[in-house]
Amino acid sequence: MATPETTRDSLYIDGAWVPHAGGSIEVIDSTTEEVMGSVPEGTVEDVDRAVAAARAAFPAWSALPVEERTALLTKVAEALGARMDDLADLITHEVGMPRMLSQLVQVGLPLNSFASAAQVATDFTWEQTVGNSLIVREPIGVVGCITPWNYPLHQIAAKVAPALAAGCTVVVKPSEVAPLNAFVLAEIMDEVGVPAGVFNLVTGFGPVVGEAIAAHKDVDMVSFTGSTRAGKRVTEVAAGTVKRVALELGGKSANVILPDADLATAVPDGVGKCFLNSGQTCSALTRMLVPRENLAEAEELARTTAETFTPGDPFDGSTRLGPLVSAAQRDRVRMYIDKGIGEGARLLTGGSDTPDGLDRGFFVAPTVFSDVTRDMAIAREEIFGPVLVIIPYDTEDEAVEIANDTDYGLAGGVWSGDPEHAKAVARRLRTGQVEVNGGSFNPGAPFGGYKQSGNGREFGSFGLEEFLEVKAMQL
């Protein structure tokens, strides 16, 4: 599909499109490498205006009955559904996910976030009595939402929907790599009648706009999704005002395949969980742990499965692996592949060469390594590309030890022929989510990590609670 051209020269602040006379940021189509549009390069002054608008709107919005707030969220979900095809096309151009998956994931999940946040807020227990105290939950205030490029609209919705449901007002800074979809959401907010100042959009670079949001004295909370490095910086900047910080950061998740598992099912499933969105998924199961006696069989299954992930144009229905999001990301992933070879890992398939026939676009071949040891960089660092590492183990205790031997703790997987045994091992993993025998992603379950994968949780009632303060009235 030809690259569309979308130029956005205004920011959405205080219920209006505010012309921006400053610089602009080009947005690149990940498949064609062509410029597909531009967005304003926001400034500290833009952040100040947006925060002031959010602060002014907070008293009325937070006092609005919950049913009125949730009614607007439901309208946002319906409007997203009406624009699903256009949004799926747009995000596929921005990020490179195959078009069919973009519709299901990149648009379907945000739609669900707004609809489910409305339901969660409706069912939520806002007040309770404990002894002689009335415990009330109140919105925290103005929330800065700083989001990444890999699931751009999804990550915005995961923050904005529960924040608005809680009664907070927001200032959103999407990633400058894939920001165009955020403008569609701003249009929808305007169309459905979300009051002025409740939702504000400021695009720009992290060191300018992101840091201004994190440092701002009138921002009560920052919710950030991105790299662990950037999350640490957000925490440092936010510490000056002792505001609440919720972080959803990196991962290097282990998929533990136990000796009694069905390898023919577990291994292909694990490859798919690693390669989703071309591996650009924080919760991707990038470390496959297999019994040493089953290593050869697992290697062959992983290799043959990986080779079915044909890279190509994400608008082609036969494509299973789109491009990476940018030249910088492609080059970073290729660097890690070369590093793995240099460290002595055995390359089963793929590699750092450009896939055949794909000279344009930020493509990386689906890659699988084996004979990986836990000290190698490819086993310890988040690659964020279609690269799977297979690590053999000798005992179950060793498998758990290897799985937990990481700075991260976002996700994981366990496979066993005995579901109860699989759950017992899952309890031993120090991670926020664990798939048991391929259990599917649940957008209503809490999502977040242990250790350097962050703090706080998104989705469901847990996600709503992140944006609430707790007050005790002694009666």
Q: Catalytic residues, which ones?
A: 248, 282
Angle at 36 between CA 30 and CA 37, to 5 degrees: 130
List CB contacts of 65: < 8 A, sequence separation 6 or more.
none
3-state secondary structure of 359: coil
Helices (H), 307-347: 327-343
> Per this entry, what is the length of the chain?
475
Walk across the sheet containing 254-257 and list its strands: 346-349, 367-370, 387-393, 287-291, 254-257, 412-415, 435-436
Largest CA distance in the chain: 73
Structure tokens that stand for 410 in this block? 């976002």
Up-side HSE of residue 246: CA atoms within 13 Å toward CB? 26
| Residue bearing tokens 């969220």 | 73
Q: Is 353 exposed, middle or buried (0-12, 13-18, 19+ CB in 10 A)?
A: exposed
Question: DSSP string of 254-286?
Answer: EEEE-TTS-HHHHHHHHHHHHHGGGG--TT---
Distances (CA, A) of 149 to 39, 45, 205, 391: 14, 24, 12, 29
Up-side HSE of residue 125: CA atoms within 13 Å toward CB? 5
Which residue, 113, 406, 434, 450, is CA-closest to 248? Answer: 450
- Sequence-ordered strand ranges (E) for 300-441: 346-349, 367-370, 387-393, 412-415, 435-436
Q: Does residue 383 come out as left (phi exceeding 0), alpha (psi in the -120 to 50 range) or beta?
A: alpha
3-state secondary structure of 414: strand
DSSP state, residue 14: T
Strand-pairing partners, residue 146, are 173, 224
Amino acid sitting at position 138: E
DSSP state, residue 358: -
Strands 287-291 and 387-393: parallel
